[in-house]
Structure formats: structure tokens, C-alpha cells
């Protein structure tokens, strides 16, 4: 890992620890820099604000998840098993940071915030997650409507965002309910994807995709 990446990761890890100890609002960039052993100017070089530190956290989580998930699904062909593994791996990677979940969601829930998962600033983490879903499909045995294949990675990412939202509010031990949600809903998703290839259901699945595509457009509706 390059020195700059090591410093960046160190600042993010230090910030997360201080957020846990002192709270997000009471933790200053100066305190983060001092604890990380870097100058304040150096900290601001990597992150212009605490909000950008949260974006850095998103990026770190995305990279860690990408590495772990790809290793976990290697050699697996079953679509349902691959998708379930990817989501459960995300829960494993994110579990140590669950206590920050509410704070992160408050920031990310604002549609105008750069921390929104739909923002331009979040595009690296988002693109990595969508790319992972594309790999889940490409190397699987799934059979689906050909017209659905291009849109399915984005749809699966939206499904993952739903799981993340549930996880943020999950107060069960070890976020057990989030794992149950994944275990129970992935087979349903896989079944729906498989049914999309049936000629009688294609108009319905294509209409759903068209609706989601239209609602996901960034431009304001006239």
C-alpha cells in the first residue's frame, strides 16, 4: 500500500475510534490529526471536513467488502448462493461499525448531501458495489430475461441499500435480524429473477424495470 493510502486509512480509522469515544459532534479535525500523529494541515489535505471522513469510511468499507466478497464467491455458480454470500459478507465487514450507523444514515439520508449513496461524490463506492453485483450475475448460472440483464446489477444494488437501511436500525445482537432478512429474501429475489425469463411475465418485469429506471433519473421531473 502506498504511503498516502496508509495515511488516509490511518486518519479514517482514528476518526472512527474517536467518534465512538467522544461522539461525532464533539470530535474535531484537530483532535483526529493529533491522535493519528499527523499535522492538521495533512489531515485537511486528505479530508476537507468530517463529512468527507465519513465518505472515506464508505470508500474503505467498499474496498474491504469487494475483496472479501470476491474471494468468498470464487468458484460458486449458484446465483442465489453468490448473492447471499455478497450480502452476508457486507454485514461481516460492516459489523464493527454498526454503532456509527445511525450517525452515518442521518448524513446520508439527505438527498442533497455529498454523503448520499446517490451523490456524485459517492460514485466510486457505488460503482464498485454495482460492479460486484455485475460479477455476481456474470459468473453465475442464472437464467433471466435478456432485457433485464443490463439493469439487474443496479436493481440488486438498490436491494442492498434496503438491507443496509434495515441494518442501520437493527438493534438485535450481532444484527441477527439483518442476517435473517438476507437469508429469507435472497431466495425470493433469485426466484423472481428466474421467473423474468418466462414469456408471460416479461411485460411485467420490463415495466417494473422501466419504472425504476425513470424514478432513478437525476434530472428533476418537469
pLDDT in tens, 44-96: 999 998 888 888 888 888 889 999 999 999 999 999 999 999 999 999 998 88
Taking the CA atoms of 22, 26, 27 and 31 in sequence, report the sign of the dihedral they define. Answer: negative
Q: Give the angle 120-121-124 at the CA atoms, nearest 5°.
A: 90
CATH topology classification for 57-215: Tetracycline Repressor; domain 2 (1.10.357)
Instruction: Tell me 52's DSSP state.
Output: H
> Minimal CA–CA distance to 10: which of 33, 44, 27, 40?
33
Helix pair 176-195, 152-168: axis angle to 10 deg: 160
Q: pLDDT tens, 12-46? A: 889 888 887 887 788 899 999 999 999 999 999 99
The correct answer on CATH 1.20.1050.10 for the domain covering 1-48 is no
Q: pLDDT tens, 116-153? A: 888 888 888 899 999 999 999 999 999 998 888 888 99
Which residues, in sequence order, are CB contacts of 172 under 8 Å at separation 6+? 178
172: three-class secondary structure by DSSP: coil
Percent of the chain scoring above 70 in pLDDT: 91
Distance CA 13, CA 18 (A): 9
Q: Where do the domains of the chain lie? A: 1-48, 57-215
Neighbours of 178 (CB within 10 A): 24
Amino acid at each position: 500500500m502506498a504511503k498516502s493510502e496508509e495515511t488516509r486509512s490511518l486518519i479514517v480509522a482514528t476518526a472512527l475510534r474517536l467518534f465512538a469515544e467522544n461522539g461525532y459532534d464533539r470530535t474535531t479535525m484537530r483532535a483526529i490529526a493529533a491522535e493519528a500523529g499527523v499535522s492538521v494541515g495533512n489531515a485537511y489535505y486528505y479530508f476537507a471536513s468530517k463529512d468527507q471522513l465519513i465518505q472515506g469510511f464508505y470508500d474503505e468499507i467498499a474496498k474491504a467488502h469487494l475483496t472479501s466478497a470476491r474471494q468468498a464467491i470464487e468458484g460458486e455458480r449458484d446465483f442465489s448462493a453468490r448473492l447471499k454470500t455478497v450480502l452476508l459478507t457486507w454485514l461481516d465487514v460492516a459489523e464493527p461499525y454498526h454503532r456509527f450507523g445511525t450517525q452515518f444514515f442521518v448524513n446520508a439520508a439527505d438527498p442533497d448531501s455529498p454523503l448520499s449513496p446517490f451523490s456524485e461524490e459517492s460514485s466510486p463506492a457505488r460503482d464498485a458495489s454495482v460492479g460486484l453485483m455485475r460479477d455476481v450475475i456474470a459468473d453465475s448460472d442464472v437464467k433471466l430475461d435478456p432485457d433485464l440483464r443490463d439493469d439487474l446489477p443496479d436493481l440488486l444494488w438498490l436491494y442492498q441499500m434496503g438491507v443496509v437501511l434495515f441494518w442501520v436500525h437493527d438493534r438485535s445482537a450481532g444484527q441477527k435480524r439483518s442476517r435473517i432478512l438476507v437469508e429469507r429474501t435472497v431466495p425470493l429475489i433469485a426466484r423472481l429473477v428466474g421467473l423474468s425469463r418466462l414469456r408471460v411475465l416479461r411485460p411485467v418485469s420490463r415495466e417494473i424495470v422501466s419504472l425504476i429506471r425513470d424514478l432513478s433519473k437525476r434530472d428533476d421531473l418537469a
